Amino acid sequence: MPIQTVELRNISKRFPGVLANDRVNLDVRAGEILALLGENGAGKSTLMKILYGMYHPTEGEIAVNGQVVQFKSPADALAQGIGMIHQHFQLVPGFTVAENVALGLKSSRGPLTDLNVVSQRVRELGAQYGLHVDPNALVWQLAVGQQQRVEILKALYRDASLLILDEPTAVLTPQEVQEFFGILRRLRAAGNALIFISHKLYEVKAISDRVVVLRDGRVVGGVATQATNQKELARMMVGREVITQWEKPAAQARETALQIDKLQALNDKQLPAVKEVSLQVRAGEILGIAGVSGNGQRELAEAVVGMRLIRGGSVRVNGKDVTHHSPAQMIQAGVAFIPEERMVMGIVREFSVAENAILITHTEPPLSRRALFDFRAVNTHVARLVREYDVRTPSLETPVKNLSGGNIQKLILARELSRSPRVLIAAQPTRGVDIGATEYIHKRLIEQRSAGTAVLLISEDLEEVRALSDRIAVMYEGEIVGIVPPTTSVEELGLMMAGAKKDS
């Protein structure tokens, strides 16, 4: 029977030391799109994993069409008509679309596979909802947007009539998002219930009928989308007023601090990822690099800071050739780096706050003399950084892995910016960071730029790039397709992110 209503009643989920969900009540009905809004760590994903049978609630119950149900595994949830589209696609890359869909299903031919039957049905469903994809294509050959369709098809094939979509737009270009919303509307019109998880306010506003906001594991509000606005939603999410637009003093045209010429680098699979990229960043400006994830931004950043082998071209800092310099030499040259993978490259997880804060400067006086640390000097120095950069930590000795993402990022920011770098490479500085910390990081980046640092900002968040940058370079398949002013519309940037060349 298709789902009419699903209710979560008083759901609590306790992990060791954390109450991830605290007596959450939530309901969703057929024919509506419910947005579940909240910051990272607010408990959205945990709640949805409970609904999909991946976690068991510590307390509370789930009712489908008024009947209380128990889910032991995702298979039980699927049997009740609940499907989940994960943020990280659960697809076998080496399988065809049809094989992925057929996985785990009964076959019409008993123990044998019935891929022809599956392919036929996939085509029918595709035609019905606009989810066109070739059932015989191998998944790894599909674009990200198409892989997402396969995920949705998998759920529909299993007669799911409640679809949980976990941050589905994170991997899509703005055009793909529009297309994706079209699919969601068709699914809603066909009488399905949808739960749309996001922390992007404008998307929630654009697609949902109703919004439920989670904060610290609790429901802090539920409103009809039409009766609210982005500002109010942001306040509910964070618990206070949030500034999203910054007053920036106009950029002062100054000398070029970072010059990249025809830079080439390979990705981890040894395929060309950065193809003859040339960029100049002047002192006192932020050059934003926009692009869909995986178009060479990460490799570009790593090549520039000396962490990835440069296969061609050159990098200059303040006119000095630093191509093929080691990361240590780049630091000497005045380059600071906020890495994309902050837990891996940005910090040493097991080290304390203090140790992480002095990772770069620990060999210099006054922090150390000869081979020994001056712990008093270290503590004074770190205490000042922690205060100045608003890092919320129980103590300087706390292992850094116990801090929240936002506070870890502020600590990295403190370490990198306190050296007064000439060039700052910031890769995804606010990804996975809550709105409050994002606000703070944005403020600091702008201050740094106004103080004369050349900032190369790499971000997949278009709103962020547009808000902070003085110029925006769009990267697609390892090349810069154009450099445009920050006033460029999202639509135009989106076209460029999909590879459309900008006539200059």
Partner 1 sequence: MNFWANIFSAGVSNGTALLFATMGELLAERAGVLNLGVEGMMLMGAVAAYGTAAATGDAWLGLLAGMLAGGFLSLLHAVVVISLRADQVVSGLALTFLGAGLALVLGEGLASARGVPTLPIYSIPLLDQMPFFGPVFFDNKSVLVFVGYLLIPILWFYIYRTRAGLHLRAVGEYPAAADSLGIDVYALRYFYVLAGGVLAGLAGGAITLSITPGWFSEFTTSGYGWIAIALVIFAQWDPVRAAVGAYLFGSLRRFTLDAQGIQNVFGIANPFFYDRNLQFFLEMLPYALTILALLIGSRAAIRKRLGAPAALGLPFVRGERGTL
Q: Say whether residue 55 binds partner 1 (CB under 8 A).
A: yes
**Does 108 sit near partner 1 (CB under 8 A)?**
no
Least distance between partner 1 and beta carbon 91 (Å):
6
To partner 1, the closest distance from the beta carbon of 140 in angstroms equals: 10
| Burial 314-330, CB ≥16 within 10 A → b, else e | ebbbbeeebbebeeeeb
* CA pair distance 395, 259, nearest whole angstrom: 40
Interface residue with partner 1, options 19, 54, 348, 490 (CB under 8 A):
54
Residue (78 or 462) nearer to partner 1, CB: 78
Pairing of strands 193-198, 162-166: parallel
Query: What residues between 262 and 281 interact with partner 1 by CB under 8 A?
Result: 269-270
Q: Which region among 96-104, 124-132, 191-199, 228-236 touches partner 1 (by CB under 8 A)?
A: 96-104
Give me the 6-45 binding string for partner 1, x by CB under 8 A, dash otherwise.
----------------------------------------
- Cβ–Cβ < 8 Å for 409, 342: yes
**For partner 1, the closer CB: 83 or 406:** 83
CB contact set of 264 (below 8 Å; sequence gap of 6+): 272, 274, 275, 276, 277, 310, 311, 312, 313
Q: Give least dist CB 79 to partner 1, A.
A: 9
Q: Which stretch binds partner 1 (CB under 8 A): 16-24, 82-90, 299-307, 334-342?
A: 82-90
- Regarding 182 and contact with partner 1 (CB under 8 A), the answer is no
449 binds partner 1 (CB under 8 A): no
> In angstroms, what is the minimal distance from the CB of 94 to partner 1?
5
Size of interface with partner 1, in residues (CB under 8 A): 29
Q: What one-character-per-residue DSSP string does 39-64 give?
A: -TTSSHHHHHHHHTTSS--SEEEEEE
**Least distance (Å) between residue 271 CB and partner 1:** 11
Q: How far apart are the first and last CA of the chain?
A: 57
Q: What is the DSSP letter of 225?
A: G
Which residue in this structure is represented by tokens 């997880």? 349
- Number of residues that make up the chain: 504
Report yes or no: 487 and 471 within 8 Å, Cβ to Cβ.
Answer: no
193-198 and 33-38 as β-strands: parallel, antiparallel, unpaired? parallel
CB of 146 or CB of 280, closer to partner 1: 146
Question: Which residues lie near partner 1 (CB under 8 A)?
Answer: 49, 54-55, 73-75, 78, 84, 86, 88, 90-95, 99-100, 102-105, 107, 111-113, 154, 269-270
